[in-house]
Amino acid sequence: MRRFKKIVLSGVLAVLGLLVLLVVLLAGSVAVDALAGGGRVAALINTSIPGPEGRTVGAYVARPAGEGPFPAVIMLHEFWGLKAEIVEKAEALAAEGYVVVAPDLYRGQTTAWLPRAIYLAVTVAEPQVLGDLDPVFAWLQEQSAVDPQRIVVMGFCYGGGKALQYSLKNPNLAGTGVFYGALESDPALLSRLPGPLLGVFGAEDQAPSPERVAAFQAGLEAAGVEHEVKIYEGVGHAFVTDMAAVRRGGPPGEAWQQLVGWLQRVTR
């Protein structure tokens, strides 16, 4: 019996040792990835927007040809942070006639490493993110090339949820676009939305699930919010990956065209 207990204890200690080692390695990988994050973001940012307390909000700004005034889109990135795929999407919308601002919500960090992305999404406080969006919105209102009455916020994944939350606190937005982000279903909250809402989701997604999307849509209907919500079959989370996927067609291409059409109706 004692021999058996020793074997069990040794096994438990070995498992605990492996878990500790994995935690240490994971923490180390996150720290190493953080060292390179700032450089990757700096390479994408082309505009510094004056922010609170003397600091600036870095952003990529894409502009259409001509003098305007144009409608504008604040485009919020996924939980990876500001990446080239978002820059591509910003340029694609600019070609449709929008001034597009893609702010760096992580203040200098981006990643392609999943543990680091999760860490950033969890540790970057939402009040900080929403607070950084206020000067972005104010900056757009001051631009001669922008119509201040036609500014929309939209985002993908992490950014979709933040776009919804920002719309709930900014009554001057013209509309809200949510691509598979965290949702609300309380009609009392959703009634604060200042304009029409676009929601794009995947049928095979669980974050949010189709059931969660249905509750969201029911909340919008109860709140009397004009909305256009579609669940695309055969795809899961984050299916509008980049413009190459959009150009190939299928659900990514259809969802992008839905966004373009919705923006035209909301801002023109």
Residue in 219, 127, 198 with CA at minimum distance from that of residue 166 = 127
Token pair of 84 as six digits: 């080239």
Q: Which residues in 199-217 are b (16+ Cβ under 10 Å) and which e?
A: bbbbeebeebeeebbebbb
Q: Which domains does the chain have, with CATH numbers?
A: 37-267 (3.40.50.1820)
> Up-side HSE of residue 9: CA atoms within 13 Å toward CB?
6
CA distance 216 to 165: 13
pLDDT band at 27 (very low <50, low <70, confident <90, very high): very low
Specify burial of residue 25 (Cβ count, 10 A radius: 0-12, 13-18, 19+). exposed
CA distance 108 to 97: 28
pTM over 0.75: yes
pLDDT in tens, 208-235: 999 999 999 999 999 999 999 999 999 9
Measure Cα distances from 234 to 132, 181, 237, 256, 257 in Å: 36, 18, 11, 16, 18
pLDDT band at 54 (very low <50, low <70, confident <90, very high): confident
CA distance 107 to 125: 12
3-state helix, strand, coil in the chain (%, to 5): 50, 20, 30
Q: What's the whole-number average pLDDT of the chain?
A: 91
